[in-house]
Chain A
Amino acid sequence: MLNAITLLLVFQLAGEVIARGLGIPLPGPVLGMALLFVALILRGGPGKNLQDTANGLLGHLSLLFVPAGAGIMLHADRLASEWQALLAALVISTLAALAVSALVLTFILRRRGSGS
């Protein structure tokens, strides 16, 4: 497990260094994920160690958003004065993005399926 955690941190650090060094507008961890993905392709898959640690971390992924989520209390004033517009924009655009993505992908996959 210690090996796997170290590996994840090394990839995160590499992502951070590359993103800042080359001025890429992506957070280090996202670039680290891409690097690890490429490494897994080259190596032909994760070992059991990494597989178990990844499952453990991702099993409670929601927990990791709680501290940032509580930060909403810092914006009570702006949320109070503009809450109708912000709430409507958030609700409508999220529903629209979910629906458009689901419908477009289903449509293309179905056309492809019937075409072949």
Chain B
Amino acid sequence: MIRHDFTGLWVYLSASPLLGLTLTLVAYLGAWQLHRRTGGHPLVNPVLIAVLALVGVLWATGTAYETYFDGAQFVHFLLGPATVALAVPLYGQIQRLRAMAIPLGVTLLCGAATAIMVAWGTGALLGASEASLISLAPKSVTTPIAMAVAEALGGLPSLTAALVIMTGIFGAMVAQGLFRLLGTRDPAVQGFAMGLAAHGIGTARAFQISAETGAFAALAMAANGLLTALLTPWLLPWLSRWFA
């Protein structure tokens, strides 16, 4: 009897968006608590922990991703207005942005080309398929741009989305350790590198360091999105010739 009621409840709940939405927030808040309890350690990345917890729950209960996303889409939707809101911290750094326009432009070109070419080269040398390589090339930029680039060039947009998220998580986890190794202390430089290489997730991490770091990350993320969309189609023929 109780078992029957529980099944009925589960059928009802799993069809409503409430469950996916609540699960997302609970998983994130739990991950956030863990992150705070370790003193905000970059290796305890809240996105990674929340995603692992969610995938575990979805797998264990046999829930399809589409069913989960019916609820989670309300959180996903906020990415749009949040991206627009990045203009506010960006405006806060306008004096430094004006003064640094040329150095930032040169850095952007070097960083964007490095991300695309090294990803392709490493993948090709290790025998990844052509479709995977094209999906890999734009992985340092924000999900919607990367997916559009991959689709236009014959990659797999949904694989690109997964690679973009993994890149962001990895970049956010290792950036500060790498900066310590390289002796990079300027918050503007740290932020710019994080936004360029690890898009929105790197930017989210940069905002946890300081508002200045975050603003430069937001700028690099936006600028690299634009540049990668233009650069990837142009670089691709060269890359497939070099690594054929």
Nearest-neighbour CB distance to chain A for B2, whole angstroms, equals 31
The number of chain B residues with a CB under 8 A from chain A is: 112
Please indicate the chain B residues that have their CB under 8 angstroms from the CB of A88 in the complex. Answer: 122-123, 126
Find A34's partner among B118, B119, B165, B222 (CB 8 Å cutoff).
B222
Please indicate the chain B residues that have their CB under 8 angstroms from the CB of A61 in the complex. Answer: 82, 200, 203-204, 207
Q: Per-position contact with B for A92-109: 1 when CB-CB < 8 Å, else 0?
A: 111111111111111011
Find A72's partner among B115, B165, B200 (CB 8 Å cutoff).
B165
Residues of B within 8 A of A (CB): 24-25, 27-28, 32, 46-48, 50-51, 54-55, 58-59, 65, 68-69, 72-73, 75-76, 78-91, 94, 100, 102-104, 106-108, 110-112, 114-116, 118-120, 122-123, 126-129, 132, 136, 139-140, 142-145, 148-149, 152, 156, 158-159, 161-163, 165-171, 174-175, 178-179, 182, 184, 186, 188-190, 192-194, 196-198, 200-201, 203-205, 207, 214, 218, 220, 222, 225-226, 229-230
A70 to B158, alpha carbons, bound, how many Å?
12
Q: Per-position contact with B for A22-38: 1 when CB-CB < 8 Å, else 0?
A: 00011111101110110
Interface of B is mostly: helix
Please indicate the chain A residues that have their CB under 8 angstroms from the CB of B198 in the complex. Answer: 94, 98
Residues of A within 8 A of B (CB): 5, 8-9, 11-12, 15, 25-30, 32-34, 36-37, 39-41, 45-46, 50-51, 53-55, 57-75, 78-79, 82, 84-86, 88-106, 108-109, 112
5 intermolecular pairs with C-beta atoms under 8 Å apart: A62-B201, A66-B51, A75-B162, A96-B115, A102-B190
